[in-house]
Structure 1
Amino acid sequence: MLQKKNMSFWGIVRFCSLVVFVFGIFSAFGFYKSLETTASKSQKYPFDYLPTSTTNQIIKHNYFTLSYNEKYEQAEWVAYELKKAYVKNSNFNRPYFIEDPKVKTGSADWRNYKKSGYDKGHLCPAGDMEFAINAYNDTFFTSNISPQTHDFNGGVWNRLEQKVRYWATKYDGVYVITAGVLQPNLKTIGQEEVLVPNYFYKILLDNSNGQYKMIAFLIPNSKSDKPLYEFVVSVDSIEKMTGIDFFPKLDDKTENSLEKNSDYKA
């Protein structure tokens, strides 16, 4: 009789433990879903902020959009909103880079980078998407990378990415457009001849109750210890280099005023 009671008791304990475990899983899942839903509802920058595409191959993922250039096997721009709520540190495991299933012409195979001497440099940083695992994983599509020298990727480019996250927290979110400057007759790597840009740009837009601020950076794909403000240029100058109109839906007066500015302090 005592043995049966003990078995019944431990059965109840095991059942309760299972309930707690399952509840914990669903609670964690609900937390991340809630975070994603909250973030998506507070849309500060509509898709009207997207640049023009010179290739007409615009790919929309859940948290960033890109224009893929098949000729150079990478994005000519990646655009996304970096919200204050996105700036997290989740320590997710890094997945393998894979081809982007949404690119109809096929994004470059990661093997093009193997033994090339260049890093698989993120355009939309994985560190900007650590608020949810699916957002983080999407940054590992090969449509979101470009050949970067190691000292550039881990040095001045990384410093700029960290500064952008600081600004996103300070200004309650910023809009980011970034990529390499794609020009003919540059070095390529791999069988698919992935272009190695000489320069990378990053353009930031802040909209605080209709008050706009804009800043652009143009940085050589090489090691540099220079302060970031030395790389500030006008958006106009990057548009001339790329042939891209970065903010076609902004009213002309605002756009013209902002895109001529190259004042870091402003």
Structure 2
Amino acid sequence: MFRKLFTICTAAFLFVACSSNDDIIPDNETNNANANDASVFPEYARLEFPKLKGGANNRVLIHKSNDGFGVNYCTEWDDSKKSQRWSCYQLYKSNLATGKGVKRYVADRRKGELQYFQDELIPAMYRFAYDPYYRTGYDHGHICPSADRLYTQTANIETFYLSNMQPQSHAFNDGVWKNMETAVRQWGTRNNYGFADTLYVCKGGTIDKNDYILKRLSSGLIVPKYFWMAILRVKDGQYNAIAFWVKHEDNKDTALAKYAISINDLEKKLDIDLFCNLPDDREERIESSVNINLWGLQ
């Protein structure tokens, strides 16, 4: 059911090698002092990528299916915390369409299948040997949503890796977080796919600052106090961006404008350089403000 993956180790990271021809920037807009080094792995130049944290404790997981779509989604994993920092991916017309016969993955217990399973790209010593969410009262909160990956069954199944999860209360996961995910998906299909050529999405929970951690479970699993999304819209060569910042608490809110902030403001909270592969001048213009009306938020 699952594809085999080829991995390459370096001193600081573990990567999955794959190819990409996305995200060409015009020649006159290539000045970018803070871009990821993509000399070995071209995937790091994709627009959805934030600046990689680096260091011996962090690794990048790139999930790719041999289905014509290329990269499914990517995750930065912190070995020492046994937690993911973010997942990033793209949304566009062909990968927003539901493939023939594709549906949300549901494990067949009679066959011994698991609903949530280990990501073998992470060495066993750097991940939990069991499902750490079991009987904790927390949902497996998808970061790259299952509903965003229905173009092939394999792509959907891959969203159920434990490395793509963060613990979320059910009323949050099935409430405001789900509503935000739906809003992003609707931007992708808005105006019969005319609102955006591509949406570049990066999402995660707060795992690095103690003030932004809700709790640590007895297993050591970190429960983020805040969750966030960063979305870059590209349409006919025009760029716009928006971010969401929301406290992890029971919340069914459908009015999302109050959670919208600029990318710059989100970066200050996270100490993560989002959309770092944009040319510097363009990055500053795009990330400094947010147009609520453009995104149709209330």
TM-score by length of structure 1 reads: 0.78
Kept in 2, the 8 Å contact 1:86–1:129? The answer is: yes
Counterpart of 1:182, as a letter, is: I
Q: Which has the higher helix share?
A: 1
Partner of residue 161, structure 2? 141
Matched, 1:118 2:146: no
C-alpha distance 110-204 of structure 1, shift in aligned 2 (>3 A)? farther
Aligned to 1:241: 269
Alignment of 1:93 with 2:105, yes or no, is yes
Letter in 1 for 2:286: L
For 1:59, the aligned partner's letter is: L
- CA distance 1:200–1:94, change in 2 (3 Å): same
Q: 1:155 aligns with which of 160, 175, 179?
A: 175
The corresponding residue for 1:58 is 60
1:65: Cα distance to partner? 0.8
Amino acid at match of 1:98: F
- Which residue of structure 1 aligns with residue 224 of structure 2? 197
For 1:260, the equivalent position in structure 2 comes to: 288
Q: Counterparts of 1:158 and 1:42 in 2: how far apart (Å)?
A: 31
SS in 1 for 2:132: helix
CA-CA distance at 1:223 after TM superposition? 2.2
> For residues 93 and 183 of structure 1, do their structure 2 counterparts lie closer, same or farther at Cα, with a shift above 3 Å needed?
closer
User: In the superposition, relative to structure 1, how do residues 69 and 164 fare at CA in structure 2: closer, same or farther (>3 Å)?
Assistant: same
Distance 1:155 1:183, change over 3 A: same
Matches within 5 A, 1:151-230: 151-170=171-190, 171-185=196-210, 186=213, 187-191=215-219, 193-224=220-251, 225=253, 227-230=255-258
- 1:251 matched to which residue of 2? 279
Quickly say closer, same or farther: Cα 1:226–1:126, change in 2 above 3 A: closer
Contact kept? 1:112, 1:190, Cα under 8 Å: no
Give unpaired runs (5+ residues) of structure 1: 1-39
**TM-score for the superposition, normalised by structure 2:** 0.70
SS at match of 1:98: coil
Asked if residue 71 in structure 1 is aligned to residue 91 in structure 2, the reply is no
Deviation at 1:41, TM superposition (A): 9.0
Identity of aligned residues (%): 29
Residue 82 of structure 1 pairs with residue 82 of structure 2 = no
1:155-192 Cα shifts (integer Å, max 9, x gaps): 1111111111111112243110000022344311252x
> 1: CA distance between counterparts of 2:137 and 2:291?
35
From the two aligned structures, give the one with the greater strand fraction. 2
Structure possessing the higher radius of gyration over alpha carbons: 1
Quick one: distance in 2 between partners of 1:246 and 1:197? 19
Verify the 8 A CA contact 2:51 2:273 in the aligned structure 1: yes
Please give the secondary structure, in 1, of the residue aligned with 2:292.
Answer: coil
Seen in structure 2, the aligned counterparts of structure 1 residues 72 and 106 have a Cα distance that, compared at 3 Å, is closer
Distance change (3 Å), C-alpha of 1:234 and 1:92:
closer
Long gaps (5+) in structure 2: 1-18, 25-42, 65-71, 108-114, 191-195
